């Protein structure tokens, strides 16, 4: 890992540990893109938002979410609140910081929707990942997802906050039947309530892991087996794999905006040489 200067401070950069690529596409049916993406492997950040609301309001909400979060979290990284917090004995610092910044973005979006009539009712899904200290902290609201490919196995790390998922959990709908039901009704979103009900977890990472963040425009159009096949082909550059995923979604109809972020772990990135206990996701 190298060093870089942010705001006059030398901080550890994760450039040699992480490789990343982000891509978003309007799709074939929409006339504008309400998704927003941000990725910065040097500070271990990946953020994806899928907006909702009236004309252009969803685009505003997702753009605000990504802009506010990315700017705040890059400052937090420079201040040592993300990578390296565990070394100082504050194991929950990264997750707590991420949740605080999401709450800050939520307040800004909600304020705008209440104060500007053209933005009334806007909101956005969110999935954000912070890579730090051989871990990844993931926070999400709504149905944008994070997948992990490890050892040839693809796993959905997040769980959709949607009416359909609640029906599946209650046994009212089987996973096989789910493709015939409305998938668009989310039960959590950023910017719609005073306090966002954000779900967050922290997991261990391993060299060779490949993480995919995506809007539902991908997984609604492309099944898990085909996503797995595309990711298994990502042995070299991530850009062509991201392009392949979006092309697959459009070939299957492209009924929604589709966005993907790929992050590959190239090597360990501990904050110190001291051993760290693995957590989560066996």
pLDDT of res. 1: 53
With a cut of 60, say whether residue 282 has pLDDT above it. no
- Domain 15-265 fold: Phosphatase 2c; domain 1 (3.60.40)
pLDDT tens, residue by residue, 28-59: 999 999 999 999 999 999 999 999 986 679 99
HEC profile of 24-45 = EECCCCCCCCCEEEEEECCCCE
> Residue 216's closest CA among 183, 265, 261, 262?
183
**If pLDDT is split at 50, 70 and 90, which confidence band does 278 have?**
very low
pLDDT tens, residue by residue, 204-233: 999 999 999 999 999 999 999 999 999 998
CA torsion angle for 157, 17, 96, 261 (degrees, to 10)? -50
Model pTM score: 0.89
pLDDT of res. 6: 39
With a cut of 80, say whether residue 10 has pLDDT above it. no
Q: Where are the beta strands (DSSP E) in 143-272?
A: 145-150, 153-156, 199-204, 210-214, 258-265
| Kind of pairing between the strands at 45-52 and 123-132 | antiparallel
Q: Please report, rounded to a whole number, the percentage of residues in the chain having pLDDT higher than 90.
A: 74
The full set of domain ranges for the chain reads 15-265
**If pLDDT is split at 50, 70 and 90, which confidence band does 3 have?**
very low
pLDDT of res. 196: 95
pLDDT tens, residue by residue, 145-162: 999 999 999 999 999 997
pLDDT tens, residue by residue, 164-196: 766 766 777 777 766 656 666 899 999 999 999
Q: What are the CA-CA distances from residue 80 to residues 73, 143, 180, 211 (Å)? A: 10, 30, 47, 24
- How far is residue 29's CA from residue 107's CA, in Å, rounded to a whole number? 31
- How far is residue 269's CA from residue 264's CA, in Å, rounded to a whole number? 12
Query: Average pLDDT of the chain?
Result: 88
Partnered with residue 141 across adjacent β-strands are 126
Mean pLDDT, residues 131-140 taken together? 96
């Amino acid at each position: 890992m190298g060093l870089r200067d942010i705001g006059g401070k030398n901080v550890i950069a994760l450039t040699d540990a992480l490789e990343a690529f982000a891509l978003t596409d309007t799709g074939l049916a929409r006339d504008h893109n309400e998704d927003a993406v941000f990725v910065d492997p040097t500070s271990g950040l990946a953020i994806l938002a899928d907006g909702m609301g009236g004309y252009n309001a969803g685009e505003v909400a997702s753009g605000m979410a990504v802009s506010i979060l990315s700017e705040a979290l890059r400052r937090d990284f420079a201040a040592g609140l993300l990578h390296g917090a565990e070394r100082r004995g504050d194991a929950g610092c990264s997750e707590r910081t991420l949740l605080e910044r999401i709450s800050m973005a939520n307040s800004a979006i909600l304020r705008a929707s209440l104060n500007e009539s053209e933005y009334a009712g806007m909101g956005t899904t969110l999935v954000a990942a912070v890579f730090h200290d051989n871990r990844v902290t993931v926070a999400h609201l709504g149905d944008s997802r994070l997948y992990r490919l490890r050892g040839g196995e693809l796993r959905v790390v997040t769980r959709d906050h949607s009416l359909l998922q609640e029906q599946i959990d209650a046994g009212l709908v089987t996973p096989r039947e789910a493709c015939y039901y409305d998938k668009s009704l989310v039960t959590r979103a950023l910017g719609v309530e005073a306090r966002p009900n954000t779900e967050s977890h922290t997991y261990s990472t391993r060299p060779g892991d490949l993480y995919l963040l995506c809007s539902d425009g991908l997984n609604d159009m492309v099944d898990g087996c085909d996503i797995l096949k595309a990711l298994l082909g990502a042995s070299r550059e991530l850009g062509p794999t991201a392009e392949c995923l979006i092309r697959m979604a459009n070939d299957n109809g492209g009924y929604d905006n589709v966005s993907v972020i790929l992050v590959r772990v190239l090597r360990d990135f501990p904050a110190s040489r001291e051993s760290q206990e693995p957590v989560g996701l066996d």
